[in-house]
Chain A
Amino acid sequence: MVPSDDPYVANGSTGLRLDEDGHLARAEDWTPAIAMALARREGLQLREEHWTIVGLLRAYWMQHLTAPPLRVLVVLASQALGPDRGCARNLHRLFPKGPARQGCRCAGLPKPDGCL
């Protein structure tokens, strides 16, 4: 279910602390309302499938304290959305700036590691 919007967040008066890459400074501060505010910064409107991915990212991060590699996220997304919707190409449509980075930003998680 898509959470309802929070006018307090929508006003932009959240006082959210973000790091230099636009990720929430403290993952534990995250709420669904904050996710919507963060998504708006990205030009996204979160729909059902977005919330599924955000939920998967947060669940994985809470267990492993790291973001899943895209290949693992795709496996989890395939189980949740079905193989057609759970592929990386669809996740890219949901999060055009990258399912890992943009998805993590919406999920209130730190920037994923990787040697770039």
Chain B
Amino acid sequence: MIVRCDGMKEQYYLDNASTSWPKPEAVYRAMDETARTLGASPGRGQYALSFEAERLVQETRVRLATFFNHRGGTERVVFALNGTDALNLAIFGLVGEGDHVITTRLEHNSVLRPLWHLQQAKQIELTLVGRDRDGYLQLEQLRQALKRRSKAVIVNHASNVLGSIQDLTEIGALTRAAGARLIVDASQTAGLCTIDMESIGIDLLAMAGHKGMFGPMGIGVLIVGRNVDLVPFRHGGSGVDSGSPRQPERYPYRLEAGTLPLPVIAGLNEALRWFAKRGGQADDVSASSPGVDEACRTAVQQLGALVGRHRCRLEEGLASIEGVVLHGPRAGQPRLATISFNLSGMSAEQVAGMLDADFHVCVRAGLHCAPLVHEDEGTDVTYGGAVRLSPGVFTVDGDVDQALQAVRETAEAARQGTGGTQQQRDVRRVLAR
């Protein structure tokens, strides 16, 4: 039940780090049209409709390979259910018994839980690398953690809590020098930061399709580098080699089993076209045309700058509110638009509830599935986590204004709950003398 109040929009959506919303209009249209007119299982039937469905799937793989400058073959662009699923495919497909794996205290549970599971099953040795106060990886710790039998370094490109963007080039160089594989969780950055698999040397790139990529929920992507091979994680129908009792060796069938979600893939494909168009590519060119890569890079840079402007306004506004405690990088460092904060005297959950209930501002509170970030920040015990604001490409200035006003008034309520405003407390102190 959503209720419209006078003078307020139904939603001031600032939870784009969870999922971007709204989507480009063309994404909705593509999904609807595909569901209505292309209702065949891709690549499974011997009729034109099924071939056309398969063509759409392949076109999307081509677009994704171009977007991330993956030169290892489009068949190594694998569809998953979401970012977590893509990371599971990567981790369980790469890591084996006795391996040493390195990850960071900045990770989401999509990385931590699979690794903790393997660690508890005594399959792997796990090392967690720490971060500095601003949310950047301690590279010296990483250097020291890398051993001869280190199999993989798994790192999120940007923290979903703090917004700090890691230096993948440096991390990639250290990882390569040690002979380990680099797995990057790009769920927060894909679509908002340029990611070049070739130049960075990423072996496995995993992401959600429904965040900065502007696809619908229900899609994740794993891009498997040319020199890496993964053990199949799930097994079943592939539409090829059906007489074999084993999952096919060749990609993408090696990692994909069962019918693909065609309308969802169509939505992601249209989102990728939307990027290319925003970057100046003509509407009617094919996915593999020259210039698509450059157009996508241009669009990503423009969109990153667009949300960065909202972040600056939010950061400045929040810093001026009494009782606000900001987390994450200090000014001038590479970061996303994601901002986490707390209000003195009030749990994160209560703040988020008030922002929604009284001001219709949609934010995410709690541990954000990244418990170690909050443990290091000290927010888990004090506040039950933090409140996260994440503006998006479709955020407008009025949304930011509303959020700031909402935090201001909620902070006032929190102060009343803890003895009033600073001014009121000062007056009482003087009167009490």
A1 lies within 8 A of chain B by Cβ: no
Nearest chain A residue, comparing its CB with the CB of B366: A116
Nearest chain A residue, comparing its CB with the CB of B367: A116
B413 lies within 8 A of chain A by Cβ: yes
List B contacts of A92 (CB < 8 A): 346, 350, 354, 413, 417
Interface size on A, residues (CB 8 A): 21
Indicate with 1 or 0, residue by residue over B347-377, a CB within 8 angstroms of chain A CB atoms: 1011001101110100001110100000000
Indicate with 1 or 0, residue by residue over A90-116, a CB within 8 angstroms of chain B CB atoms: 001100111111000000000000111
Report the tally of A-B residue pairs with Cβ distances under 8 A. Answer: 59
Contacting pair B366 A114 (CB below 8 A): yes
List A contacts of B346 (CB < 8 A): 92
Contacting pair B353 A98 (CB below 8 A): yes
A10 lies within 8 A of chain B by Cβ: no
What is the CA–CA distance of A99 and B353 in the complex, to the nearest angstrom? 9
Contacting pair B385 A116 (CB below 8 A): yes
B229 lies within 8 A of chain A by Cβ: no
B410 lies within 8 A of chain A by Cβ: yes
Contacting pair A71 B3 (CB below 8 A): yes
B236 lies within 8 A of chain A by Cβ: no
List B contacts of A98 (CB < 8 A): 347, 349-350, 353
A-B pairs with beta carbons under 8 Å apart, 23 shown: A69-B356, A70-B353, A71-B2, A72-B1, A74-B358, A75-B1, A88-B358, A89-B354, A89-B413, A92-B346, A92-B354, A93-B416, A93-B417, A97-B347, A98-B347, A98-B349, A98-B353, A101-B349, A114-B366, A115-B366, A116-B349, A116-B366, A116-B385
> Could you list which residues of chain B lie within 8 angstroms of chain A, going by C-beta atoms?
1-3, 346-347, 349-350, 353-354, 356-358, 360, 365-367, 369, 384-385, 409-410, 413, 416-417
Given contacts A71-B353, A73-B357, A75-B3, 8 further A-B contacts (CB under 8 A): A69-B353, A69-B357, A70-B354, A74-B357, A92-B346, A98-B349, A114-B366, A116-B385
Nearest 3 pairs between A and B by C-beta?
A: A116-B366, A88-B357, A70-B353
